[in-house]
Amino acid sequence: MALLQITEPGKAQDPHSKKIAIGIDLGTTNSIVAGIREGEPFALPDETGRYLLPSVVSYRQNSVVVGHEAFDLANLDPANTIISIKRLMGRALGDPVIAESNLPYKFIKRSETVPRIETSFGTVTPTEVSSEIIRKLLERSFETFEKEADGAVITVPAYFDDSQRQATKDAATLCGLQVLRLINEPTAAALAYGLDSGNEGLVAIYDLGGGTFDISLLRMEKGVFQVLATAGDAALGGDDFDAVICQWFLDSVGWEKGLTAVENRGLVLEARKAKEDLTNVETTQIIFRLEETNYRAKLTRSVLRDLLKPFLDKTLNICRKVFRDASADLDDIDNVVLVGGSTKSLIIRETVSEFFGKKSLDHIDPEKVVAIGAAIQADLLVGNKGDSEVLLLDVLPLSLGLEMMGGLAEKIIPRNTPIPANQTKEFTTHKDGQTSMKIHVVQGERDMVSDCRSLAEFELKGIPPMVAGAARVRVSFQVDADGLLSVSARELTAGIEAGVEVKPSYGLTDSEITEMLTSSFEMAEEDAILRMISEARLEAARVMEALAVALKEDAEMLDVGEVSLLEEGMRKLGELVKKGDHKAINEGIDLLSKASEEFAALRMDKAINKALAGQKINDIEQEI
Amino acid sequence: MDFGRNFFEIFNLPAAYSLDRELLRSRYMSLQKEFHPDRHILSSDTEKRLAMQFITEINSGYETLSDNLQRAIYLLELNGNKVEENPKLDNEVLLKQIEFREDLETLENRSESRKSLGSFRTEIEAQIENIQIALEQAFLADRFGVARQLVYEQQFFFKLERSLERIEENSAGI
């Protein structure tokens, strides 16, 4: 994986040494990549000047086609042309989104968990399909900046659960792309608007895309974007509108036979076009050929309004819920921001502004705004902006919990908790002599485990036999800044420990990813080794530079012996880097990291003390 | 990692129930600006890990202190008055709780208008408000035993409020 280079903080940077940091909005219908040039964010066009990349991947016998060309194949070869893959990300094969949809793909039944689609190119998973889209966007970035991107911020719907987030991150990893951070789409949009117009106060972000709906409430002040609450529906969007228009068409023309997958795909595309037309005109016509006959039906804006109403009402109910979660009132809102392709529709804009009683902000293209916000955040994270005040504070979208006796879900971290977050809870055995305990991690708001999303299951073994209720098992949840969870469990009387990174059963295992990486790059062995050496060297340089900066600032925290020990370690690592054996370099890195751990802890403690002491000084100033 | 400070110390606030929310918020923000993981993307792995642990503590402290009920529970525990999972309650309190439960069940089973739900909500909110005032007074007088009983009462009404919200959500079809 490519690693970031370090520059000393505060030092003016040579403009040519700025790192290439990009933002990627991986959408259900379209994807887009944005970057920064001379401090200005912009969406990157393809060679013909188009910004949107249709999120469509078509698998041919010997090649993979992505984007516009693939879109054109969607009708001709639906079984090998994957659209709206985002809807399948991180989902199990048995999930209703897959099981109950009339998708034209050939799913392989072999695995119960990860959906695998058989194409003329071979078997592919949703993660791999998404990675093809990312790879295409990376080509754009390379064309524009004439070098590889150093890192990316990738956006996900705020309401994505852990497995959907993990699957998205895996898709980027498959392209060898360094993911700086996953951020939520509405948060990214807020960042783009906040910095663009200096808006402060309480902002509602209404984000309706092709397949997902999110509503987030944020407080913006002094450069801090704090998400107060978020809610949504990970399976509600423009695709549903298309489907309901299709059904309306079939009812109108009296077609009762049902459609083949090919016909269905064709009609969906016609429906989408009609839906878009009705933003500019009052009436449009859908003409569709079925069994050698042209059927036609007139669709008016008012009919469409009725068709969309149940969906829009659902979004408004979710909006009410988010206000309740944030203990805020509709009147408190200072601004409403529209995000997502579906909000280009006139009917939806009218509905939203009526609900909020406010005209919404939309002067940044709703299709570009998320990628632009992501690019701004990426630029900040790699340090191109120097000491910026801007900070995003986000929350956990869905409660995390554990399965208890009787199939009940016990919430451990409730939704809308600020992240990073952790929580521990103690449990006990319910049978005499019980020596193991099943830990089943779930996500969702419902009381029953069967209604929640199952994230991971593992077993804590080796509990010493005791009477029921005597063992004490402490389960810890940790959610990082990407919103990803890891769980560990520990029996306190015997000290047995077990832990998992929550790699959901719907995701891919690390070895599967490694395997795909090797096969997808079709990398010769020599290339692979060269790559590993260069990665090890970069990592070594990063570690040494961080330590050198630390020693320069805080060497007086250590005694002379300790300092020379660290310096010796750096010297040795420097020699290993020259020799170029990646295994030896990695061992050297581990040694140096271990040796400097204590020093890092001391420095952190000092930083904390300084930060807390700083508060006192401010107080005195305030009192004066 | 134990940072050796309780939440009040982290935010440099007096360990009391009454709270200067503005001060808490501004300190929360300045700590975030220093220790948020986004500020440590370029740090060494150990520093990243420590910063993440500390910011997790800050988040958890902010959540605890800014919530009236959680702050009460936390403060009671600091003073050695652990809040029990299944406490013993006075008969009078229990009877009142049973009545409220029954009212809720009646509302849930009747397919009546949202108006009766609304007036029930107002009633619950009034109870919560009254207990909150009593709680503040109990802490002011250092009467921790009384405060703990009030916490138990408050927990009941919060649970009731959540059940009510669920009924409202179901009837609104969320």
pLDDT of A15 reads 45
Question: Of A114, A152, A144, A186, nearest to A395 (Cα)?
Answer: A186
Q: Is residue A598 very low, low, confident or very high in pLDDT (cuts 50, 70, 90)?
A: confident
Instruction: Answer yes or no: do B174 and A6 touch at CB < 8 A.
Output: no
Give contacts of A 464-523 with B, CB under 8 A. Answer: 478, 480-481
Residues of A in contact with B4 (CB under 8 A): none
Q: Is residue A614 very low, low, confident or very high in pLDDT (cuts 50, 70, 90)?
A: low
Is there a domain that residue B117 lies in?
Answer: yes
| Helix and strand counts by DSSP (H, E) for chain A | 15, 27
Residue B17 pLDDT > 70? yes
Task: Please give the mean pLDDT across all residues of chain A.
Answer: 85
Question: What percentage of chain A exceeds 90 in pLDDT?
Answer: 42
Concatenated DSSP letters for A339-355? ESGGGGSHHHHHHHHHH
Q: Is the same domain home to B62 and B95?
A: no
| CB of A623 less than 8 A from some CB of B | no
Mean pLDDT of A173-197: 86
Task: State which of B66, B101, B117 marks the end of a domain.
Answer: B66
Q: Is the same domain home to B47 and B100?
A: no
Question: What percentage of chain A exceeds 70 in pLDDT?
Answer: 89
pLDDT of A10 reads 40
Is there a domain that residue B121 lies in?
Answer: yes
Q: How far apart are CA A214 and CA A318, in angstroms?
A: 9
pLDDT of A14 reads 45
Is there a domain that residue B46 lies in?
Answer: yes
Closest partner residue to A604 among B45, B50, B56, by Cβ? B50
B118/chain A closest Cα distance in angstroms: 14
Task: Express each pLDDT in A347-401 by its tens digit.
Answer: 999 999 999 998 888 888 888 999 999 999 999 998 887 767 789 999 998 999 9
| CB of B46 less than 8 A from some CB of A | yes
Task: State which of B18, B50, B66 marks the end of a domain.
Answer: B66
Residues of B in contact with A222 (CB under 8 A): 29
Q: How far apart are CA A162 and CA A452, in angstroms?
A: 12
Is there a domain that residue B80 lies in?
Answer: no
Instruction: Answer yes or no: do B29 and A419 touch at CB < 8 A.
Output: no
Q: Is residue A621 very low, low, confident or very high in pLDDT (cuts 50, 70, 90)?
A: very low
| CB of B36 less than 8 A from some CB of A | yes
Full domain range(s) for residue B130: 91-172
Residue A556 pLDDT > 70? yes
Q: Is B7 helix (H, G, I), strand (E, B) or coil?
A: helix
Mean pLDDT of A327-337: 91
| CB of A574 less than 8 A from some CB of B | no
Residue A11 pLDDT > 50? no
| CB of B169 less than 8 A from some CB of A | yes
Task: State which of B33, B66, B99 marks the end of a domain.
Answer: B66
Instruction: Answer yes or no: do A596 and B55 touch at CB < 8 A.
Output: no
Q: Is the same domain home to B120 and B164?
A: yes
Is there a domain that residue B73 lies in?
Answer: no
Instruction: Answer yes or no: do A420 and B56 touch at CB < 8 A.
Output: yes
Q: Is the same domain home to B53 and B98?
A: no
| CB of A416 less than 8 A from some CB of B | no
Residue B140 pLDDT > 90? yes
Question: To probe the interface with B, which of A200, A488, A608 has the most B CB atoms within 10 Å?
Answer: A608
Closest chain B residue by Cα to residue A224: B29
The region, left, alpha or beta by phi > 0 then psi within -120 to 50, assigned to residue A495 is: left
A482 contacts A182 by C-beta, under 8 angstroms: yes
Closest partner residue to B46 among A421, A481, A597, by Cβ? A597
Is there a domain that residue B84 lies in?
Answer: no
Q: How distant, in Å, are the alpha carbons of A67, A236, A238, A270 from that of A211? A: 18, 5, 6, 18
Task: Express each pLDDT in A421-430 by its tens digit.
Answer: 999 888 888 8
How many domains does chain B contain in total? Answer: 2
Look-up of token digits 């049902």: A258
Is there a domain that residue B165 lies in?
Answer: yes
Q: Is the same domain home to B99 and B159?
A: yes
Q: Is the same domain home to B121 and B161?
A: yes
Report ipTM for this prediction.
0.85
Residue A286 pLDDT > 90? yes
Q: How far apart are CA A41 and CA A365, in angstroms?
A: 13
Question: To probe the interface with B, which of A413, A553, A591, A604 has the most B CB atoms within 10 Å?
Answer: A604
Start-to-end Cα distance in chain B: 41
A487/chain B closest Cα distance in angstroms: 15
| CB of A404 less than 8 A from some CB of B | no
Closest chain A residue by Cα to residue B168: A321
Is there a domain that residue B48 lies in?
Answer: yes
Instruction: Answer yes or no: do B60 and A421 touch at CB < 8 A.
Output: yes
Closest chain B residue by Cα to residue A319: B174
Q: Is A214 helix (H, G, I), strand (E, B) or coil?
A: strand
| CB of B20 less than 8 A from some CB of A | no
| CB of B82 less than 8 A from some CB of A | no
Question: Of A603, A604, A507, A607, nearest to A557 (Cα)?
Answer: A603
Instruction: Answer yes or no: do A224 and B30 touch at CB < 8 A.
Output: no
Q: Is A24 helix (H, G, I), strand (E, B) or coil?
A: strand
Most confident of A164-168, A506-510, B117-121: A164-168
Residue A361 main-chain phi, psi, to 5 deg: -80, 130
Mean pLDDT of A156-185: 90
Task: Express each pLDDT in A192-228 by its tens digit.
Answer: 987 655 667 899 999 999 888 999 999 988 888 999 9
Q: What is the CATH number of the domain that holds B152?
A: 1.20.1280.20
pLDDT of A522 reads 47
Instruction: Answer yes or no: do A543 and B172 touch at CB < 8 A.
Output: no
Catalytic residue numbers of A read: 25, 86, 185, 207
DSSP state of A198: -
Amino acid in position A187? T
Q: What is the CATH number of the domain that holds B29?
A: 1.10.287.110
Task: Express each pLDDT in B42-86 by its tens digit.
Answer: 777 788 888 888 999 999 999 999 999 999 999 999 999 888 888
Residues of A in contact with B11 (CB under 8 A): 615
Q: Is the same domain home to B129 and B165?
A: yes
Closest partner residue to A604 among B36, B51, B169, by Cβ? B51
Task: Express each pLDDT in A402-415 by its tens digit.
Answer: 998 888 899 999 99
pLDDT of A525 reads 58
pLDDT of B130 reads 96
Q: Is the same domain home to B103 and B139?
A: yes
B160's CB contacts (< 8 A; 6+ apart) are B100, B101, B104, B124
Instruction: Answer yes or no: do B50 and A381 touch at CB < 8 A.
Output: no
Residue A441 pLDDT > 70? yes
Q: How far apart are CA A603 and CA A44, in angstroms?
A: 41
CB-based burial, A238-271: b 16+ in 10 Å, e otherwise: bbbbbbbbbebbbeebebeeebeeebbbbbbbbb
Residues of A in contact with B52 (CB under 8 A): 420, 480-481
Q: Is the same domain home to B61 and B115?
A: no
Q: Is the same domain home to B119 and B60?
A: no
Q: How far apart are CA A143 and CA A46, in angstroms?
A: 9
Q: Is the same domain home to B102 and B39?
A: no
Residues of A in contact with B50 (CB under 8 A): 600-601, 604
Instruction: Answer yes or no: do A317 and B46 touch at CB < 8 A.
Output: no
Q: How far apart are CA A301 and CA A418, in angstroms?
A: 42
Q: Is residue A270 very low, low, confident or very high in pLDDT (cuts 50, 70, 90)?
A: very high
B42 contacts A539 by C-beta, under 8 angstroms: no
